Amino acid sequence: MQVVHPYIFKTKPYVPGKPIDEVKRELGLKNVIKLASNENPYPPSPKVLAALNQAAREVNRYPDGGCFNLRRSLAKKLKVDEDQLIFGNGSDEIICLAVKAFAAKGYDIIIARPSFLVYEIASTLAGARVHQVPLKGFRYDLEAMRAKVNGRTKIIFIGNPDNPAGTYINQTQAEAFMRSVPKDVLVFFDEAYFEYVQARDYPDTLSLMNKHSNLMVSRTFSKMYGLAGLRIGYGIAHPEIIDILNRLREPFNVNSLAQAAATAVLADGTYYRNIAREISSQRAFLYRSLDRLNIPYEQSFTNFILVNVGADSSHVAGALLKKGIIVRDMAVWGLQGYIRVSIGSPAENKRFIKTLGEIV
Ligand SMILES: *Cc1c(COP(=O)(O)O)cnc(C)c1O
């Protein structure tokens, strides 16, 4: 065996939700639905498909490494400067770039537990020490996180809302937290579910960034905008931070189809607002149905729900899988008794509820 980087074997590889085709193959099933990766259940809009079709004719060329068109549209929409944006192969890449830029052996990262797995994996691979602060009632314990800050702390990750909890920290909490954290610590707000949150007190992090240049935000086209398969997300930060991350990124990290589709998504607001409305009414349907079945759950501000199925969630997730429904067993994330289910189409959600009722 070759000599490898010592941190490689300290991490457990990320285990994604099972792909539909794999489950069909392995279990010999015809009709499989996936409610495991918080994807949008609907296909891209006709306008986005047309843009993809057009861009497909030019894949013999390298993509625009600077994402010119997308950058211009997005900067305008967000009312930020173009040099405050960086695009990535999914927002996962933005998280990894921030870790590569600022963390290393001898430095600390602070995250919640449980939280989105990429924060921990990227930080451990960089050789940084990871402090995990347990959630309190499925919410961030910001005081405990603040108490972990020391002279070696480089980044604090705040999934807002976080995955798998589905809860968020509000404007007042975000403001107080930013005031309390030293200026040389990067506070990274991961807003992958931004487009789903309807709460009035959800923080306006882009305004907070004007006062706190150590605040960075990431968002994605994977969740609400349904481009998970194309891999495109972005970061918003002070130009100095963006400049540092740009030095680390690969020149053509965002492919041309992803750029074309994301630009078209931004110009097709109505289609996506309707999907948001549909998901929100389906969330209410799932709540009502779970209430009827007497199955407890956590209130979510995203397109997934943490469902408390009782002691053996692995058994329940396995039984659902046998019936062709892929969900995530949360026991592996330390939440014994919980599964995480993504909000699907009305037909998918009905099938999930009916099957769950038969199992539990
Ligand atoms: C899904 C998810 C992401 C990553 O999305 P990309 O597809 O890489 O853009 C980031 N953060 C959280 C909390 C997520 O759930």
- 235: Cβ below 6 Å to ligand 1? no
CA nearest neighbour of 233 among 250, 200, 212, 255: 255
Q: The pTM is what?
A: 0.96
pLDDT of residue 4: 74
Going by alpha carbons, the residue nearest to atom 3 of ligand 1 is 192
Tell me whether strands 233-236 and 186-190 are parallel, antiparallel or unpaired. unpaired
DSSP code per residue over 40-98: -SSPPPHHHHHHHHHHHTTTTSPP-TT-HHHHHHHHHHHT--GGGEEEESSHHHHHHHH
Most informative mutation of 91, 194, 303, 341 for ligand 1 (most atoms within 8 A of CB): 91
The stretches of the chain forming alpha helices (DSSP H) are: 20-27, 46-56, 68-78, 91-102, 117-125, 142-147, 171-180, 205-211, 239-248, 256-266, 269-292, 313-322, 346-359
Topology given in CATH for the domain delimited by 46-266:
Aspartate Aminotransferase; domain 2 (3.40.640)
Write down the domain spans for the chain.
6-43+270-359, 46-266
Options 3.40.50.10330, 3.90.1150.10, 3.30.70.20, 3.40.1050.10; CATH of 6-43+270-359: 3.90.1150.10
- 304: Cβ below 6 Å to ligand 1? no
pLDDT of residue 269: 93
- 220: Cβ below 6 Å to ligand 1? yes
pLDDT of residue 123: 96
Rounded to the nearest 10 degrees, the angle between the axes of helix 256-266 and helix 46-56 is 150
Reading the block at residue 82, the tokens are: 């173009």
Q: Which H or E element spans position 158?
A: strand 153-159
Reading the block at residue 121, the tokens are: 């994996």
Per-residue pLDDT tens, the chain, 360 aa: give them.
Answer: 667 777 777 777 777 778 898 888 988 888 999 999 999 999 999 999 999 999 999 999 999 999 999 999 999 999 999 999 999 999 999 999 999 999 999 999 999 999 999 999 999 999 999 999 999 999 999 999 999 999 999 999 999 999 999 999 999 999 999 999 999 999 999 999 999 999 999 999 999 999 999 999 999 999 999 999 999 999 999 999 999 999 999 999 999 999 999 999 999 999 999 999 999 999 999 999 999 999 999 999 999 999 999 989 999 999 999 999 999 999 989 999 999 999 999 999 999 999 999 998
Distance (Å, whole) CA 339 – CA 317: 7
Most informative mutation of 14, 99, 223 for ligand 1 (most atoms within 8 A of CB): 223
CA nearest neighbour of 303 among 193, 228, 203, 213: 193
pLDDT of residue 28: 86
Q: Give the ligand 1 atom nearest the CA of 116.
A: 13
Residues 253 and 231: beta-carbon distance below 8 Å: no
Most informative mutation of 15, 39, 86, 92 for ligand 1 (most atoms within 8 A of CB): 92
Reading the block at residue 154, the tokens are: 């480089």
- Residues 137, 166, 298, 164, Cα dihedral to 10°: -80
- 92: Cβ below 6 Å to ligand 1? yes
pLDDT of residue 2: 67
Q: How many CB atoms lie within 10 A of CB 197?
A: 16
How far from the centroid of its chain's Cα atoms is residue 279's Cα?
17
Going by alpha carbons, the residue nearest to atom 11 of ligand 1 is 192
Going by alpha carbons, the residue nearest to atom 10 of ligand 1 is 192
Distance (Å, whole) CA 116 – CA 333: 10
